[in-house]
Structure formats: C-alpha cells, structure tokens
Structure 1
Amino acid sequence: MNGPVRRLLAAGAIAALAATAVPGAADAHGRHDLGRQTLAANDGWAAYDGGTTGGADADRDHVYTVDTWAELKAAVQGDEPKIVKVEGDIDAWTDAEGNALTCEDWNDPGYTWEQYLAAYDPEVWGWNAPSGPVEEARVRSYNAYREHVLLRIGANTTIVGSGRASVTHGAFFIGNVDNVIVRNLGVHNAYDCFPAWEGDAWDGEFDNFEVSGATHVWLDHLTVTDGTTHDYEAPVIWGKRVEHLDGGIDIVRASDLVTVSWNHIRNHDKTMLIGNTDSDRYAEDDKLRVTIHHNWFENAGQRAPRLRWGQNHVYNNYYTYREASGYPYHYSIGAGRHSQIYAENNAWDLEGLPPAVALYNWGGDAMHIEGSLFNGRRVDLLAAWNEANPDAPMADTVTELPVLHGKVHATRLVPVLVPLWAGAGKLR
C-alpha cells in the first residue's frame, strides 16, 4: 500500500472517529434540541457540584428566537430558566430599529477623539493619567457605550446559535450568576470605542466573554475572533500602540466550575485570562476551577490560558500559529501565582518556533504537562522551558488532579479531531 493511500485511509478512520467523538451534551428531554441539551455528567469542572443545565427547563413562554441586538439583550434578562436562539448575524452597533451605529454616536458633547489627543498629549499634559473635563466626557461616552454593547446574561440561561449565527461588537458578560450555557455561536470584535490613556499605555476594556464571579458556566462550540479589527495594526500614539480589544474569554473574580470546550479562538492576542490579579482578594479556596478541552487556538498570541490561583485541566487542545497572520506569538500556557495546571495530550504546530515558547512562568512554581506533540514530535515541554529558562524553573508536581473529564484522546488525533469539530456551526 503506497504512502498517499495509507494517509487517506488513516484520515478517513480519524474522521469516522470524529463523527462520534464530540462529548459533552446530554439531551435533558430526549429531543435533539440544542437549547434543551445540558452538560454531560463528567464533562469537566462545570459538571461538578450539581452540573450545568442552563435554560433546559424553560417553559414555552421563555423560549425566544432573536435576530436583532435589542431582542437579544431583552431575552437574556432575569433568572428564570430560558432558552435564547440566535439567528443570522447580529451587530451590536445597531439601534432599536436596526439602524447602523458608529463609535461617534456615543460621543458625549464634551468629547471627540481629536479633543482627547490634543488635551492629553504628553507634550502638553506630561506623562500623567488624564483628568479634567475631556477625560470626564470620555468616561461618560464610555459608560453610554458600555451600557449598549454589554450583554448582561441572567442565571439559568442557554444561548444557542442556529447554523452559523454570530454576534459582532457585543461583549458577553456572565457576572455573579449561576448556570449559564452559550453554544454554537460566533462572537467577534468586542471593540472599545473609548480606550483610556493611563499615562504610560493605552487600555481597551471589553472581552468577547467575561465570566466574573459566576459559577457553573459552559462555553462550547464558539468561534471567537477579532473580526475585522487587528490591534497590531492600530496606530502607535505617544510611543504606545492603541488598544481597542481585550480578552477573548476571561474567567475572573473567583468564578468557579467552568468548562470551555470545542471552541475555535482565532486571531486574538490576550486569549484566556483566568484570575485577573496577583492580589489575594479573589484567592478563596476551591475557586477558579476550569476545564479547557478540545479547543483550537489559532494565531492566539498569549494566555491560552494564563492562570492565577485556580485549578485548570487543559487537555486535547490544538495550538497553531503562522507568522503571516500578523499576530505576534508570545506563549500558550502561563502559570501564575498559586496556580495548579494539569495539561495533557495537547498539540502545537507553531511555524518556526522552538518548544520552550509554548509555556511561560508568571510566578507559578509548578505545572504538570504530559503527552505533548510539538511540530510533529513528542516533546517534554516542561524540560524545554526549564532548560531555556534556568532562572525561572517550574516543578512537574501539582497537588490537585483532575476530578471530572470526558475522553482524553491520543495526542496524534488532536490535529485532526479539533479542527473538524471546534467552533460554531458544527452542531445541529
């Protein structure tokens, strides 16, 4: 049997496996309805302590189909069980009648971008954080904009996309609530129209997803991107590049029991921050427990994830990078203060880069990582990091081991399985 035929048969076998390999969903009512599906009983930390059901128990009066931003914002309110089905491509930069908006539509009368640059140019203002009337007007503009683009999701909610549905310019906020599912949806370009100059750098505020103080959250089969915005192309002003984008999926402020599965996170810099400060303010015991599996991180510059304080099970993820994307690559998995990362059977395909770049020590002292495939070869990534960074070594021992998880696939299957199934539009 020649080589090409053998490879085709192998690919076909893997594809057949993929057709039955996607874990996670249990149909709560015996029907093939994405809105009624709940997280499987073993699928990561979100399955722990009662599981994650979202709005599966919603009555008929709390099942909504939406195709505008105004409808979506209204549908996700409240804590009663509800299912929200998103159709088509929704743009948050639209008014209640669906008319297109631009950043300037939220400008306070005392603010324009040009006024801001003139007022706080360091040649005029010095290297200080802005204050005074123009900064106050920027804050008012920002607050009005935030109120419009922030999607505040209530407890016991399931949001599902129909086909390849998507949301652009909206920022999904899952804050201080329990039991939320978001699946099968593209979420793009959570753009900050009003970035702040902090005296030494620009700061953009919005994440595609922010999970803040929330519990039992399942984010599954999402496509998360910068859309048409690329921060690396933004102008450099006062020696620093302007930032309009922040996190892709950030899980912060003692959030807990989260599963992030089968997502395609593409062309983004600050990808997934778990634990947002080194301060022990959010360092309660048994918090920030997150399972991250079968995600495709494509041209993800950093934080995939970066963890502080919590416990992460990171398995069967696929990391790819091409220099032609324009996005700078920094690292993939970062261990921060008091972090417990258990990483297994992940694969990297990083064009022209050495194995040591896959990890980073942000003040963590340990990371368990096994079964890694790097540019087609089995590599001990922790040993590669320690050899390249003798002043910041990490041990191989962690005290907290994974509690719940689905099938951990052989690493050689990851580069085929994950691109086949990760992202929006793959569920029916």
Structure 2
Amino acid sequence: MVESADNLVLNNFTLKNSHTRNNVDSNQAETIYFNSSHRLIANNMNFISEQDTLLLKGYSWFYNTLVAGNVDFIWGYATAALFEESEIRTIGDSKYGSDVTSPGGYVLQARVQNADDPGFVFLNSDFTHGPGPLGTTVEAGSTYIARSGGNSSYYDNITLVNNTFGEHIAAVGWAYNGINGQPQPNPDPATANAGWREYGSMDSQGNALDLSARAGGYLLSETEVADYSTRASVFAGYNDGAGWEPQPLDAPVIIEEVTDKGFAGHNFDITGGAGGMVVTVDTGAKLTAALEEASNANTPVTIYVDGVITDANNDGSGRSIEIKDMDNVSIIGVADRGEFDGIGISIRRANNIIIQNLKIHHVLTGGKDAISIEGDDDGSTTSHIWIDHNELYSTLDVDKDFYDGLIDSKSGAKNITISYNYLHDHWKASLHGHTDDESSSNDRDRLITFHHNRFENIESRLPLFRFGYGHLYNNYYNNISSTGMNSRMGAELQIENNVFENTQNPIVSFYSAEIGYWNTSGNLFGSGVTWTTPSGSDVAAGPDATPTSSYEVPYTYTLDETSIVKSKVINHAGIGKIDQSDLDIPAIEDDNGGENGGGSNEGTDVTLPYSEDFSAADEDTFFSAAYKSLPDDSSMPLHNVTGGGSGIVVIAGQITLTSARFTIGDTLPETDTTDSDTTGRGVFDLSRPYKVLVDIVSVSDPDGDNNFQIYVDNNTSSSGKSWLGGSSKFYATLINELTIGTLEVEGPVASENSFIQLRTESGGTVTLDNFRIEYID
C-alpha cells in the first residue's frame, strides 16, 4: 500500500503477487494499492497477480507496462489513470485447476467519484490473454472489458482509444445490465462525458473491430475522442487545472552479464581473442588486415569495430569478412557504432569465436548470409562459437531469395550459442543443416543454444534445425508470418519458456523427409498465435504443444518466467546494451599508423544556407555518420532518430515520417532537452533571423487530427522542454491541411549552437524532399 505519496516513479522492474486463487480463501491480492490523491508513474513495469492487481486513486500514468490478472484486476477510485502503449493481459484463473481452460472474468471495475473525472483511460494499448500460474488458459469470448460496482454514488468512467483486443474478449464487450447477473452501470446510458466509452478498437491484427454487438457503451466521435487522446488532455484537471504531462523514461542501464553460455561454453571456457592482440578498426580493409596478422602470428585477437564496414572499404571483391582456418577471435562493436553495411561475416574451420554487439544488415557478399558458420566436408569442425547482442536484418520489400540467412550454420559447425540478438525484417532467418541428405556424422552432431533473442517481422526459420540437438529458451517472437521453430530430420529440441505473439505455427516439423521432435514446457502462446492444418507428413505442435521428445540439455542454466521474458528481451537484446566501461579499447590507427581517436575533425559543412536532399540509400544510411556527420566529429551522425524510428523510410531521394521525429544537428541526441537548459547544443548558427523550407511531397492522416511540427533546440515531443520554452515548437499544422509544394516557415531567433527537429504526430504520415535552412536577409 502507498499512502499519500506524490510523484512516485516506478521504472523497469516487476511487482508480482504470488497468491494463487482458489475456492476457499478470500482472493483480493493487489500488487500495489495506490491510496493517494496525488501522482504515480509506472514506466516499463510488470504488475502480475490474479485478482485486483491494481487498486488506484488519484492520478496515474502507466507507460509501456504489463498488467496481468483475471478478475477486476484494474479497479478503484482513480481521478485519472492513463494506460498508454501497455499490455493488459487476462490470465487463466487458478481456482479452476491446472492445465485447463477457464472463463476470463472482468478486466476493470471503475468507482470514479465525480461524473466529469476521466477515470480509467486506455490509449494505444493491447488487451491480450495468457496462461495463469498453474497453466490455466482463457476461453475465447469469455472476458468482459468491465463490470459495474452497481452503486449510484460513483461512476463507471472508462474510455478506450485505439486499442487492440484478443479473441478472449466477448463481442458484447461490457458486462452490461444483467449479463452474468451484473448490475446496471452508472450512468446508463453512457455519454461522451461519462460511463463506458470506446473509439477505434481493433482486433489483435490491427483490423477495425465490428462494434455493432457492443452493449452498454458509447462510441465516441473523432471530435469527442480528442479529450482522451493525449496525456495532456487526460491530466488537464490536475492541480486545479494546471495540468500534468508526464514523459517516458529511458530504461535504466542495468548491465546483466550473460552467464548462460549454452552449448558454446559446455565443458569449454569460451574466451575468443582474450589475452592476445587488440586493435580498433573502422574499415573492412583494416579488419581484414588485423585478422591476417593474427592468423600469421598464430595469436588470439580482439578486434573492436568503431565505424561502418562495407564491401567498398574492404576490397570491393564481394567477399564477406572471413574468419577462416584460425582460432581465438573476438569481433566486438564499440557502443552502438559497430556496423556491417551490406557485408557479412563468414566463420569457417575456426574455433573459440565471439561475435558481439554488431549491427549487420542488407548483406549481399559471399553467400549473402549476415553470419555464416561452417566446418568442412573433410571433417574439419567449427566449434564453440558465441553470437551475442547483435542486430541483424534486411527488408521484406524484396523477393524471399534476394538475401539468404541472418545466422546460418552447416557442415560440422557445432557447440554454438546465439544469445540476446535482435533479428528482424527478413524472410528466412536461421538455417542449421543445409540439406536433408547430410550423411556424415560430422554434419549431424550439431549442438546449438538460442536464448533471450528477439525475433520480429520474419517469415520463417527461427530456427530451421536439421539433425542434432538444440535448446531454445526465453526467446520472444512477434509477427512471424509462416513458421517459427522447424525441427527436421530427427532433430530434438528442448523448447522452454518462450513467448510467441502474432505468430503462425510457432513450433512445427514441416517440409522434411523425416520429422523432428521437441520437448516443450512453459511456453506462452499469446495474442495473435495461429496454427495451420499440416499437410501430408507435416506435424504442428499446437495448439497443445505436447512434447514428442524427452531430450534435456547436459548443462546448467537460468530459466526466466514467461511473465518477464518479453520486457527483458526487448530491453536487453541487440546492440548498445552491454557494459564496456571496463574495457581498454584502443584508438583507431589512421592509414599512416597514427591514432585518430575514433573520429576526424572533417565533418559536414553546416554553414547556412544548408540543404538536405535525402539522397541516402536508405534510412540506416541516412542516420549514419558515413552519410553526414557532425562538423567537429566525423564519427557522430548529423541526423538522429528521437522517436518512432520504425516509422521513418528514406528512399528515392525522399524521407517519409509516420508517427516519428528526428533531429538535424543535435550534438547530444540521447539526452532530452529540458526547460532548464541555458542555450542550444546544436551545430547551426540560428542567432539571426532564418527560415526553414521543405518540399511537401505527399500527406496522409486517416484520423484527421494529427500535426506536422517543426522545433528548434528541442528533441522531445513537449513544446516546453527547451531553453526557448513553448516557442521552440515554431510550426504546427494539421497534416491534412498541408499544401503539396514548398513549405516556408520563419523560425524564432535561437543561438549560435542550435538544431532542428521534424515531427509527425501519432498516426500521421508526411513525405518530404529538399530540406533547407536559410538566413532572412
């Protein structure tokens, strides 16, 4: 219980009430009772119980947060409680027993004290379902969004705006006036200002829901929903109308050392290049030279990458970077700056190898694999390979065979661990064993561990596994369109505590001359999971995922509960997530043998007039220092994403922003500007009158209420968070009211060290070309 606290901030941890519901005891079991008329912020949190998970009063903001329970698990007397971009998960009710299906109960019960208080508001969130503590699942169509407390002295004020709902939610939505014996809500009927209200609801795939069967609620119009569409509007009444607009918090940097080395570290101390030569490189040629030097000297080598490796700055041969016929190698990215653009890594006849903290994408060199691992047909092995904390991707906007795999292995490659990687936007992700006809035992003895990886927007092969043994645990799958894990040719996979969302066929044995097997336990098949009917000899594990093998791995490891897997993986998988503070990383040697400190003083000329034609090959190039850099540090990019990066596309000399924002010339993009700043921290001299010009190519805003905005010396979405105050946002116009052609806007006089930010609000899209900043003479 929290009494009378104000501005309580909870960030990036889990509160769980482990009480298990039964038919004997009283089952009220909150994770938090906020008994205060003041403010609570829950950012990137998990609240897990079975009943009454959250009991709220006052003003609360839940952002990017999981709330799980099964009966009235969000309830109370809130003046205004906003749940934004969060997951509201109904779990199976333990009182019905273990491993059975139970009714879903009710998500909400509001007891709002004043008719005009916002009450409980849900914005851009997902209502999902999953198993309870005993494995109990939720029946389809059995969960109601809310029921009333049946008391005319308080109000059932709940508003739903642009949320998705899983199949567990009943078509009627609300438990209205007699449904399951529930009482009449207050008010009845609901109005635009009080009661149960709804706008823009979707199914779990993002398709608009047919709300004709809803009973007891009010469907808001586009005009009416404006009062519930932003933090500022929901919390406008705080402090006698002074208002409150809380902002998202960065997840704290919690360094979690990866101790589970899986098969790579089984009966082996995997050290990579430790104890040998150490060098930092920024080109492919320097990287190749360092590998050759270490190989010739037969010494371990650690190579730090601080820059963008390309085929062009290697030797232009179209070959991948080769770790071949050598052992004891580490290739590690520095911070988030180690990148392989269009070129991959080939590991062949090599042992004790670490590949860590690298972004590798759009690979067309060699066999077109981002990372290829193989032994040889002569019995040579490649073993004890650790692929950790990398980001690997291409695009789905090409034919499925345009690129090959992201992490593939074959021909005697074994004892491999693939951990904390982010694989996304690709067709065929991870193949292990390249043919059903492998006859050599060397080709069949593969041992591979996958743990804590994030797989998203991928068609298949996650992994495709022929022969051998695998261990897949605590991975997160989302938007997998064909198949996830595919066990083939007698392979046996131990599959534990993975989380699947919006995934077709999570675990199968498809397209194989002989089926493969699985020992499954504890996996969470969440919203949007579907199973197709197998054809011929194909086998799908679902929907019950019954084990077909008893295989268990021979090493020890730590298994996370599925309730925290999604948030843990999203927060820790990928690049820039490991602690390098205790590493002695040498400076880059220039071509003449001297150190350049990781960046030169020859950056982009930002003297006005300044222009940008968006001629980068793609958005990744556009946001790289290789394309344009800060004028005094060529290692730092001039352009930086500040929000909604997945909604930014650069192609054909134009940039498209959808629910996104980016800065031009901010020297501290990772630090939010504030109203306590004393001046700008950019690279443009905007200390005398100037104007911004940009060509509007196309616009789209289905909602009709989102703006295109231009800021100076402000990298947030809040106009007041700048030394310039509210004047930092000097242009804001409804997207649908923009005129195709050149937009010209005069900006407020700023400082000699200023920067610009462009933004489209949530749901809106604008395509731009030919951005300019010019003085007004």
Residue 205 of structure 1 deviates from its aligned partner by 2.8
Q: Over residues 59-112 of structure 1, what are the superposed CA-to-partner deviations in whole Å (9 max), with x where a residue is unaligned?
A: xxx11110011001111231421110100222222356xxxx6xxxxxxxxxxx
- Deviation at residue 250 of structure 1 after TM alignment: 0.4
2:272 to 41, 54, 61: 54
1:166 aligns with 2:339: yes
1:76 lines up with 2:291 in the alignment: yes
Q: Which amino acid aligns with 1:359?
A: V
Given the superposition, is the C-alpha separation of residues 216 and 365 from structure 1 closer, same or farther in structure 2, using an over 3 Å criterion? closer
Give the equivalent residue in structure 2 for 1:248.
406
CA distances 1:168-201 after superposition (whole Å, capped 9, x unpaired) = 1222111011110011111111115xxxxxxxxx
Amino acid at match of 2:280: T
Distance 1:2 1:283, change over 3 A: farther
Q: CA deviation at 1:11?
A: 3.7
Once the 2 structures are TM-superposed, how far is the Cα of residue 368 of structure 1 from its aligned partner? 1.6
Equivalent-residue separation in structure 2 for 1:404 and 1:189 (angstroms): 35
Indicate conservation of the 8 Å contact 1:46/1:218, yes or no. yes
In structure 1, what residue type is equivalent to 2:291? V
Residue 72 of structure 1 aligns to a residue whose secondary structure is helix
* Greater displacement, 76-85 / 418-427: 76-85
Measured in 1, the distance between the counterparts of 2:497 and 2:285 equals 42
State the TM-score, normalized to the length of structure 1.
0.68
Q: Which amino acid aligns with 1:89?
A: V
**Which of 204, 209, 215 lines up with 2:371 in the alignment?**
209
Q: Deviations over 1:391-422 (max 9, x none)?
A: 53367232531122431100111110001000
Instruction: State how 1:13-412 maps to structure 2 within 5 Å.
Output: 22-24=256-258, 40=259, 42-58=260-276, 62-77=277-292, 78=295, 79-94=298-313, 144-146=317-319, 149-153=320-324, 154-164=326-336, 165-192=338-365, 205-213=367-375, 214-226=382-394, 230=395, 232-234=397-399, 243-284=401-442, 287-321=445-479, 329-350=481-502, 356=505, 358-361=507-510, 362=512, 363-376=514-527, 391-393=537-539, 396-412=547-563
Q: 1:402 to 1:304 in 2, by over 3 A?
A: same
Please identify, of 44-53 and 283-292, the stretch whose mean Cα deviation from structure 2 is larger. 283-292
Shift of 1:375: 2.4
Aligned to 1:199: none
How many Å separate the matches in 1 of 2:257 and 2:445? 24
Alpha-carbon distance in 2 for matches of 1:180, 1:74: 17
Match of 1:273, as an amino acid? L
Displacement of 1:5: 5.7
- Cα shift readout 1:373-393 (whole Å, capped 9, x = no counterpart): 12259x9x9xx67x7668533
User: Which amino acid in structure 2 is aligned with residue 425 of structure 1?
Assistant: G
Q: Deviations over 1:321-348 (max 9, x none)?
A: 18xxxxxx21110011020111100011
Q: Give 2:256's aligned amino acid.
A: V
3-state secondary structure, aligned to 1:210:
strand
Report the Cα offset of residue 10 of structure 1: 3.7
Q: CA, structure 1 residues 288+158, in 2 after alignment: closer, same or farther (shift >3 Å)? A: same
Q: More displaced, 166-175 or 393-402? A: 393-402
Alpha-carbon distance in structure 2 between the residues aligned to 1:251 and 1:67: 27
Return the TM-score normalized by structure 2.
0.39
* Structure ranking higher in helix proportion: 1
Structure 1 pair 19/343, CA: closer, same or farther in 2 (3 Å)? Answer: farther
Conserved? CA contact 2:255–2:578, under 8 Å: no
Is the CA contact (8 Å cut-off) linking 2:308 and 2:339 kept in structure 1?
yes
Report the Cα distance in structure 2 between the residues aligned to 1:95 and 1:257, rounded to whole angstroms. 30
Task: State the one-letter code of the partner of 1:76.
Answer: L
2:771 corresponds in structure 1 to none
Contact conserved, 1:205 with 1:244, CA < 8 A, in 2? no
Quick one: structure 1 residues 360 and 21, their matched pair in 2 at CA, closer, same or farther if it must change by over 3 Å? farther
Which residue identity is paired with 2:538?
A
Larger RCO: 1 or 2 (CA < 8 Å, sep 6+) = 1
Once residues 292 and 357 of structure 1 are traced to their aligned partners in structure 2, the CA distance between those partners, rounded to angstroms, is: 15
Count of matched residue positions in the alignment of Structure 1 and Structure 2:
326
Q: Is the 8 A contact 1:334 1:359 kept in 2?
A: yes
Q: How far is the alpha carbon of 1:266 from its aligned partner?
A: 1.1
Structure 1 189/17 Cα, relative in aligned 2: closer, same or farther at 3 Å?
A: closer
AA matched with 2:279:
Y
Range with bigger deviation, 173-182 or 272-281: 272-281
CA contact (8 A) 1:23 1:406 kept: no
Counterpart amino acid of residue 492 in structure 2? Q
**Counterparts of 2:454 and 2:572 in 1: how far apart (Å)?**
9
Residues 9, 287 of structure 1: alpha-carbon distance in 2 compared, 3 angstrom cutoff: closer
CA distance in 1, matches of 2:384, 2:455: 23
C-alpha root-mean-square deviation of aligned residues, in Å?
A: 3.2
- State the 1:320 CA deviation: 1.0
Distance across 2 between alignment mates of 1:17 and 1:286? 42
In the alignment, the residues of structure 2 paired with residue 299 and residue 66 of structure 1 have an alpha-carbon distance, to the nearest angstrom, of 32
Counterpart of 1:415, as a letter, is: K
Q: Would you say the 8 A contact 1:283–1:309 is kept in 2?
A: no
SS of 1:45's equivalent? helix
Matched to 1:338, the amino acid is G
Structure 1 residues 163 and 401, CA gap change in structure 2 (3 angstroms): same
Shift of 1:16: 12
Give the C-alpha shift of residue 6 in structure 1.
9.1
Distance in 1 (alpha carbons) for counterparts of 2:535 and 2:290: 50
How many Å separate the matches in 2 of 1:18 and 1:311? Answer: 36
Structure 1: segments with no counterpart, 5+ residues: 25-39, 102-143, 193-203, 235-240, 323-328
Asked if 2 retains the 8 angstrom alpha-carbon contact of 1:332 and 1:360, the reply is: no
Amino-acid identity (%): 25
**Structure 1 residues 205 and 95, CA, compared in 2 at 3 Å: closer, same or farther?**
closer
Q: Contact 1:159 / 1:183 at 8 angstroms: preserved in 2?
A: yes
Q: Which has the higher strand share?
A: 2
**Cα deviation 1:26-72 (Å, max 9, x = unaligned):** xxxxxxxxxxxxxx4x52001113231101121xxx11110011001
